[in-house]
Amino acid sequence: MTFSVVGASAVRTALAGAEQDVVDRVREAYLLHDAGGTVNPDSYFLRFAEKPDSRIIALPAFLGGESETAGIKWISSFPGNKDKGLPRASAVLVLNDYTTGYPKALLESATISAARTAASAALAAGALQRTPPRSWGVIGAGVIAREICRYLAATMPVPPVVHCHDLDPGAAERFADELPGGLPADLTTACDADLVVFATTALNPYLPADHRFRPGQLVLHVSLRDLPPETLLHAVNIVDDVDHCLKQNTSPHLAEQLCGDRSFVTGTIAGVLRGDVTVPDDRPVIFSPFGMGILDLAVGRYVLDRTVEAGTAIEISDFFAPDGV
């Protein structure tokens, strides 16, 4: 029984240039979930009284279909790491063999998590945008924002203007310098773009309650807690999974609490992909993905297969006790 360890360098190599493949894996996972071929329990949040902005989350899941892979992602978000010169997020992904239940691999997963998040956003942009956007507005200048822009650029034409906003003006300027057409911008200007991406670490909504996006705008609300619930109630709302998304005080959860039901949710991204959900064109569209463990399994399995084939996965033949327990 061989156990494989895949480090960050091997993960990055496996994902380099594979954006469309990753988007396809995410699409397949969403459709399989919609068809009942997955198990995706609630995420489990470990929080700390003295560090309210920090958390470690466990995402167990099972992905059926051809992959038949179970596993769990253990991902931490400690925003204070940035002051120490460390990345905010760190993660590992354990993949289990479905036949025996044995863990078969441990993968560095902050990279995988960023890729699956960006692929989900790019997939939604392709499925939900009505016309090619003439501008992007990106709120947040961290790793996830960069990865989303990379996946968007790999799957659609980049518009002539990309407005970049961050609470740290220097970070916004550096981010803008990396992008064709990138310009540092204030929040209002970024929110006025045709395609708006929220990729922040916000814990609570900060846009004014009377903020309204206009019909024709597509908002990728990846960080989930930026928008006041009133804004959502005046938009078309697409989520990845209704039960998962409407919890943990996400903006959609706050909207449910405000109006008392879930009627403001138009449908899921899988419903859109299948053609079962029609997206009205008289309101802006907001995509709010909670981030499902099945996506980590889909991309993690893809990475594991590629690294084993390339010989970059470290295989440990005697990891498990030969006589069991």
Q: What is the pLDDT of residues 106-140, one digit of tens each?
A: 999 999 999 999 999 999 999 999 899 999 999 99
Q: Distance from CA of residue 123 to its chain's centroid?
A: 11
Around Cβ 10, how many Cβ atoms within 10 Å? 24
Closest CA to 303 of 1, 3, 2, 12: 12
Which spans in the chain are helix H?
Answer: 8-15, 19-34, 110-128, 143-155, 169-178, 187-191, 229-232, 242-245, 251-259, 269-274, 293-310
Whether 266 has a pLDDT exceeding 80, the answer reads yes
How large is the average pLDDT for residues 200-227?
A: 97
How large is the average pLDDT for residues 34-46?
A: 95
Q: Distance from CA of residue 289 to its chain's centroid?
A: 7
Q: Give 325's pLDDT tier (boundaries 50, 70, 90).
A: low
- Using an 8 Å Cβ cutoff, are 118 and 112 in contact? no
Do 3-112+293-316 and 131-288 share a fold?
no
How large is the average pLDDT for residues 3-19?
A: 98
Please report the sign of the dihedral spanned by the C-alpha atoms of residue 103, residue 105, residue 108, residue 109: negative
Whether 142 has a pLDDT exceeding 70, the answer reads yes
pLDDT 10s digits, 62-76: 999 988 999 999 999
H/E stretch holding 312 = none
How large is the average pLDDT for residues 235-252?
A: 96
How large is the average pLDDT for residues 255-267?
A: 97
**Rounded to whole angstroms, how far apart are CA atoms 232 and 114?**
25
- Using an 8 Å Cβ cutoff, are 186 and 165 in contact? yes
Extract the tokens encoding 269. Answer: 């991204």
Q: Which amino acid does the sequence have at 262?
A: R
Q: Distance from CA of residue 252 to its chain's centroid?
A: 16
Closest CA to 190 of 214, 164, 170, 169: 164
Q: What is the fold of 3-112+293-316? A: ornithine cyclodeaminase, domain 1 (3.30.1780)
Q: How many CA atoms lie within 13 A of 20 on its CB side?
A: 3
CA-based radius of gyration for the chain: 20
How large is the average pLDDT for residues 218-224?
A: 98
Closest CA to 265 of 291, 233, 290, 289: 233
Query: Which homologous superfamily is 131-288 in?
Result: NAD(P)-binding Rossmann-like Domain (3.40.50.720)
Paired residues of 108 in beta bridges: 92
Reduced to 3 states (helix: H, G, I; strand: E, B; else coil), residue 212 is coil
Whether 79 has a pLDDT exceeding 80, the answer reads yes
**Rounded to whole angstroms, how far apart are CA atoms 4 and 105?**
4
pLDDT 10s digits, 153-212: 999 999 999 999 999 999 999 999 999 999 999 999 999 999 999 999 899 999 999 999
Q: Which of 31-35, 128-132, 173-177, 221-225 has the lowest mean pLDDT?
A: 128-132
pLDDT 10s digits, 290-314: 999 999 999 999 999 999 999 999 9
Paired residues of 90 in beta bridges: 76
Q: Give 278's pLDDT tier (boundaries 50, 70, 90).
A: very high
The torsion angles phi and psi of 72, rounded to 5 degrees, stand at -150, 135
H/E stretch holding 87 = none
C-alpha distances in Å from residue 151, one per residue of 219, 220, 267: 16, 13, 24
Domain layout of the chain by residue ranges: 3-112+293-316, 131-288
**Rounded to whole angstroms, how far apart are CA atoms 265 and 194?**
21
Listed as own residue / partner, the contacts of 273-276 with beta carbons closer than 8 Å and 24 or more positions apart are 273/27, 273/30, 273/31, 273/123, 273/127, 274/31, 274/34
The pLDDT value recorded for residue 322 is: 78
The pLDDT value recorded for residue 116 is: 98
- Using an 8 Å Cβ cutoff, are 46 and 59 in contact? no
